[in-house]
Structure 1
Amino acid sequence: MRVSHEELSDAVWRKSTRSGGNGGSCVEVASLAGGRVGVRDSKDRGGPALIFTPSEWQAFIGGVKGREFDDLV
């Protein structure tokens, strides 16, 4: 799914309130047009971003809440 550089640079990105101010490994998310969600590395703001459709984002969040990824940490 292609997103213009302008759309990503104009997006309002936010980090989790659980992210510390220590510059550690954090991701940022932003709402995009069409209900899509962008995810990027907070240390590489000009770098690539993952773009999720609304249904992909809901499936991902459902997996996180359902603890499907707990074995990865």
Structure 2
Amino acid sequence: MTETSWKKSRRSLAGDSNCVEVRLTPHCTAIRDSKNPGGACLYFTKEAWATFVSSLKM
């Protein structure tokens, strides 16, 4: 995976441990639990991520 930075929601409160972080790469989107950055990640294709995000905007 291409090294890019992890991003936490701008709406997350400082010190809030109930967040996910997202990392966008040219080939996929990765999601992880912000309080366990060394733990498991979920990976989505660009198409699957775009579908997910568009469903949230409805």
Bin the TM-score by the shorter chain: 0.7 to 0.9
Match of 1:11 in 2: 4
**Residue 56 in structure 1 maps to residue 33 in structure 2:** no
CA contact (8 A) 1:23 1:43 kept: no
**Residue 28 in structure 1 maps to residue 21 in structure 2:** yes
- Higher alpha-carbon Rg: 1
Would you say how many aligned residue pairs link Structure 1 and Structure 2? 58
Which structure is higher in RCO with an 8 Å CA cutoff and minimum separation 6? 2
After superposing on structure 2, the runs of 4+ consecutive aligned residues of structure 1 that deviate more than 6 Å are none
Q: Percent identity?
A: 36
> 1 or 2, which has the higher helix percentage?
1
Q: Which TM-score applies when normalising by structure 1? A: 0.70
Please state whether the residue corresponding to 2:30 is helix, strand or coil: strand
1:13 Cα deviation after fit? 0.2
19-28 or 46-55: bigger deviation: 19-28
1:63 Cα deviation after fit? 1.1
Name structure 1 gaps, 5 residues minimum.
1-6, 67-73
